[in-house]
């Protein structure tokens, strides 16, 4: 009798081990986002929640970072599998230009353009900065050093015939810029993010602000020299105290992946992203701006094969 019991237990253990071995393995991915005061971090968290709830055995973790430049380096070093980045920075990384002259990121692949990234120029009401040229001689934040924001600040100054020598340049993150303006340590700052930006919203509740437009001739020069920019208008009332439309330019926030991530995984992620767009829009306002048409337009870096497979299935690309 004991032999039968032992034999039965052995069979059960073998079957259990076999079933365990056959169970699908959980896919663990890091999604590099941005600072907690920006748009990337909460939007990345909303996307991760959809991927985890809609894709079997998927575990995507949204990680706070220094945004585009750091995210692309994480992709290149294979320390993150997914990232949200500005589309211009993706182009620089893939082609080895700008901040990536000495560190080309050959393995970056595009999943989808997500929403417009808008240049937003803000100053304190008593700073005297009402136009772009008014920043001369002032204390002005151009973004974290080496960031996509800082690159865009240089591009804007370039077409205006200005340099950092024309003012006191401060290299601060979104949160640091907002806090410094509140404390009167700087006169203004330039952000590149989706609208509305949480840090600007918070600043506008406690401080009187000027919202600075980019002149039409400067916009034209900027687009002519840097074609990844497009014209954009920040509607009046986007922020407290903003009583008029603000003319500016925008790029696109883009979801990218490392080329080494499997085609099936990225296909599942792309499919979940678009099939659950209404849920994403409910979780974060930027989700309402996601569309198949915008997702594939203006992409200068190769698509990941998994994303390309999905777009061909739905007719977004041929």
175-205 pLDDT, tens digit per residue, is: 899 999 999 999 999 999 888 898 999 999 9
Q: Rounded to whole angstroms, what are the CA distances from 222 to 68, 102, 160?
A: 21, 25, 9
Q: Is 243 helix (H, G, I), strand (E, B) or coil?
A: coil
Q: CATH number, domain at 260?
A: 3.40.190.10
Low-confidence ranges of the chain (pLDDT < 70): 1-24
Same domain, residue pair 101 and 122 = no
What pLDDT does residue 107 have? 98
Same domain, residue pair 238 and 259 = no
Same domain, residue pair 139 and 247 = yes
Is 14 within the bounds of a domain?
no
Last residue of a domain, one of 199, 223, 251: 251
Is 174 within the bounds of a domain?
yes
pLDDT in tens, 211-262: 999 999 999 999 888 878 889 999 999 999 999 999 999 999 999 999 999 9
Q: What range defines the domain where residue 205 resides?
A: 117-251
Helices 174-182 & 198-206 angle (0-180, nearest 10): 10
Question: CA 251, CA 109: separation in Å to the nearest integer?
Answer: 18
Same domain, residue pair 178 and 292 = no
Same domain, residue pair 33 and 61 = yes
The number of folded domains in the chain is 2
């Amino acid at each position: 009798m004991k032999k039968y019991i032992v034999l039965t237990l052995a069979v059960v253990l073998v079957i259990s081990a076999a079933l365990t071995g056959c169970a699908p393995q959980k896919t663990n991915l890091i999604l590099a986002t941005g600072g907690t005061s920006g748009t990337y971090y909460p939007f990345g968290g909303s996307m991760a929640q959809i991927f985890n709830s809609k894709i079997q055995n998927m575990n995507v973790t949204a990680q706070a970072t220094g945004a585009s430049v750091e995210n692309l380096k994480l992709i290149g070093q294979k320390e993150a599998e997914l990232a949200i980045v500005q589309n211009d920075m993706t182009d620089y990384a893939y082609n080895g230009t700008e901040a990536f002259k000495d560190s080309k990121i050959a393995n970056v692949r595009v999943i989808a353009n997500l929403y417009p990234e808008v240049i937003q120029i803000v100053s304190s009401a008593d700073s005297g900065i009402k136009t772009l040229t008014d920043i001369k001689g002032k204390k002005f934040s151009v973004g974290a050093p080496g960031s996509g924001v800082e690159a865009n600040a240089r591009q804007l100054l370039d077409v205006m015939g200005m340099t950092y020598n024309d003012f006191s340049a401060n290299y601060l993150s979104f949160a640091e810029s907002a806090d410094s303006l509140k404390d009167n340590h700087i006169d203004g700052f330039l952000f590149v993010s989706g609208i509305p930006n949480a840090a600007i919203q918070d600043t506008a509740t406690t401080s009187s602000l000027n919202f600075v437009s980019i002149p039409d001739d400067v916009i034209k020069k900027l687009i002519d020299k840097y074609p990844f920019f497009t014209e954009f208008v920040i509607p009046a009332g986007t922020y407290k105290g903003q009583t008029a439309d603000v003319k500016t330019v925008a790029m696109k926030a883009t979801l990218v992946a490392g080329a080494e991530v499997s085609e099936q995984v990225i296909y599942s992620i792309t499919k979940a992203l678009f099939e659950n767009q209404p849920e994403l829009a409910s979780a974060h306002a930027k989700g309402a701006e996601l569309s198949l048409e915008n997702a594939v337009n203006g992409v200068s870096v190769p698509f990941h094969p998994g994303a390309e497979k999905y777009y061909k299935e739905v007719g977004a690309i041929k």
